[in-house]
Amino acid sequence: MRTPRAAYPLTWRVMDGLERVAAALWPARFQRGLPYLMLLPAVVLVGLLVLGLVQIGDTSLRTLDTSTFLMSEDYTLANYRRVLTENFFATVAGRSLMGAVIVTAVTLLFAFPYAYVMVRTSSPALRKVLLVALFLPFFIGQVVRAYGWLIILGNQGMVNEALGLVGVSPMRLLYNYPAVLFGLVQYMLPFAVLMLAPALTAIPAELEAAAASLGAGWVKTFRHVVLPLSRPGLIGAGLVVVTLSLTDFAIPAILGGGTQDFIANAIYDQFFRTSDQGLGATLSLMLVAVGSILVGVVFLLFGAGTLAMAEARK
């Protein structure tokens, strides 16, 4: 028979000690406050961004003195007035918003079949291939991918050469609005599929079989069964794609040829070319506001879909 001492292993003793420490630090009375304690580090970390926002807000209220290139000492709303009245900013804002909406629509259109095939296929090998094809480009930087497209779509690139074989003279496929939108779609595709897949997994395949046995063709099944049930996925994907496209910098810069500035490019110009940090800060704040309002409205109306980080009580 084992002695009592050996029956109480060291790990248990250590754990008992730790439990006592934990109980001393956070008594059971505070049990309800535990989640807030767990959220605290994340809140503090994101607080860094908030601090940065405050600094930006402060800068946005100052104007640039072009004889000393220092920001003014006193606060003024001149920057906000400029942003709201000058044509250029309206053009850029309109271009970015419309672009974001178009990109979201097209991306969802292509991401949905991809996610569907990936989830429904019975071959694990195919699923793995589709997943890898999705992730590999996801992890290469935007910049390098954009340069890859510059090579493919350029005047002497493969697409124009292929068209030349059919007798079509080289077309300017790059440095215009469609090129930027295309670049954004190919960049956002993995994000969208990532958000759609969990929602599609949650739809039992038997539902589609049931619909088919009741006489619905596959188009009808999609329209009336699959799409409505995948709403959380569509919302999550839509949110991610819309915010990321609205605020994208590299693709409009590289694929746009300098004539397709989005808001982030305009912000960059103000900070780095005209050294007008006040105007740049103002644009940043307005972009944050637009983005947050968009996200907030969608959250309120539809919930967060698959982007949700809190569990809906079952």
Partner 1 sequence: MTDSLGKTVVLWLFVAAALITLSAPTIVVLGASFTAGNIITFPPDGLSLKWYGAIAQASDLRQAFVRSLIVATICTVIAIPVGTLAGIALAKYRVRFARSIQVYLLLPFTIPLIGSGIGMMLVFGEMGALGRLWPVGIACCVINLPFMIWAVTASASNLSPDLELAAANCGAPPLQRFLYITLPAVLPGVITGSLLMFILALNEFLVSLLLVDARSVTLPVQIYNSIRSIITPDLAAISVVFIACAGLAIALLDWLVGLDIFLKSK
Partner 2 sequence: MSHDKFLSIPIRRRTLLASMAAAGASAGLSPLGAGRAFAQEPEKPAEIIVRAWGGSWVDSLKAGVSDSFTKATGIAVRHDLTEDNEIQPKVWAAVAQNRVPPIHVNWDTTTNATKSALRGVTEDLSDLPNLANTTDLAKPVGLDGYPIVNTYGYVYVLAYRPSAFPDGPPTSWKDLLDPKLKGRIALYNDGIGFHFPAQVAGGGSLDDIPGNMQPAWDFISQIKAQQPLLGEDPDFTTWFQKGEIDAACTISTNAREAKKNGIELAWVVPEEGAKFDTDGLWIPKGLPENELYWAKQYINHALTQEAQQVWLDGLGLPGVVPGLTPPADLVGDPSYPTKDEDFEHLIRISAKVQVENESQWFAKFKEIMQG
Binding partner 1 (rule: CB under 8 A), the pick from 13, 51, 90, 223 is 51
Measured at the CA of 242, the angle between CA 314 and CA 307, to 5 degrees, comes to: 20
Residue 121 backbone phi and psi in degrees, to 5: -65, 150
Q: In angstroms, what is the minimal distance from the CB of 309 to partner 1?
A: 5
79 binds partner 1 (CB under 8 A): no
Concatenate the DSSP letters of all residues of 133-194 into one string. HHHHHHTS-HHHHHHHHHHHHSTTSHHHHHHHHTTPPP---SSSHHHHHHHHHHHHHHHHHH
Query: What minimum distance in Å lies between the beta carbon of 244 and partner 2?
Result: 22
**HEC states along 260-271?**
CCCHHHHHHHHH
Q: Of 164 and 296, which has the nearer Cβ to partner 1? A: 296
Residues 197-216 that bind partner 1 (CB under 8 A): 197-199, 201-202, 209, 212
257 binds partner 2 (CB under 8 A): yes
| Interatomic CA distance for residues 269 and 130, integer angstroms | 39
In the complex, least distance from residue 222 CB atom to partner 1, rounded to whole angstroms: 9
Residue 110 touches which of partner 2, partner 1, none (Cβ within 5-8 Å per kind): partner 1
Shortest Å distance, C-beta 261 to partner 2 = 6
DSSP tally for the chain: helices H, then strands E: 15, 2
Q: Are strands 64-65 and 70-71 parallel, antiparallel or unpaired?
A: antiparallel
Residue 137-156 contact track with partner 2, rule CB under 8 A, x = bound: -----------------xxx
Q: Which does 238 bind (CB under 5 to 8 A by kind): partner 2, partner 1, none?
A: none
Which of partner 1, partner 2, none has residue 87 at its interface (CB below 5 to 8 Å by kind)?
A: partner 2
260's contact among partner 1, partner 2, none, with CB below 5 to 8 A by partner kind, is partner 2
Residue from 100, 118, 241, 251 in contact with partner 1 (CB under 8 A): 118
Q: Which of 167, 174, 170, 169 is nearest to 153 (CA)?
A: 174
Closest to 278 in 3D by CA, of 75, 42, 41: 75
Number of residues lying near partner 2 (CB under 8 A): 29
Stretch that binds partner 2, among 33-41, 217-225, 231-239, 269-277 (CB under 8 A): 269-277
d(CA 158, CA 184) in angstroms, rounded, equals: 20
Task: For residues 104 and 184, give the distance between their C-alpha atoms in angstroms, rounded to a whole number.
Answer: 9
Determine the Cα–Cα distance for residues 28 and 314; give it in Å rounded to an integer: 26
85 is an interface residue for partner 2 by CB under 8 A: no
- If you search the block for the tokens 């001393």, which residue do you land on? 24
Residues 142 to 201 in contact with partner 1, rule: CB under 8 A: 143-149, 151-152, 156-158, 185-186, 189-190, 194, 197-199, 201
Question: Does residue 81 bind partner 2 (CB under 8 A)?
Answer: no
Q: What does 16-62 look like in DSSP terms, one character per residue?
A: HHHHHHHHHHS-GGGGGGHHHHHHHHHHHHHHHHHHHHHHHHHHHT-
Q: With CB under 8 A as the contact rule, which of the stretches 70-78, 84-92, 114-122, 164-172 interacts with partner 1? A: 114-122
Q: Please report, as ranges, the residues that interact with partner 2 according to CB under 8 A.
A: 64, 66-70, 86-88, 91-92, 154-156, 172, 175, 257-261, 269, 271-277
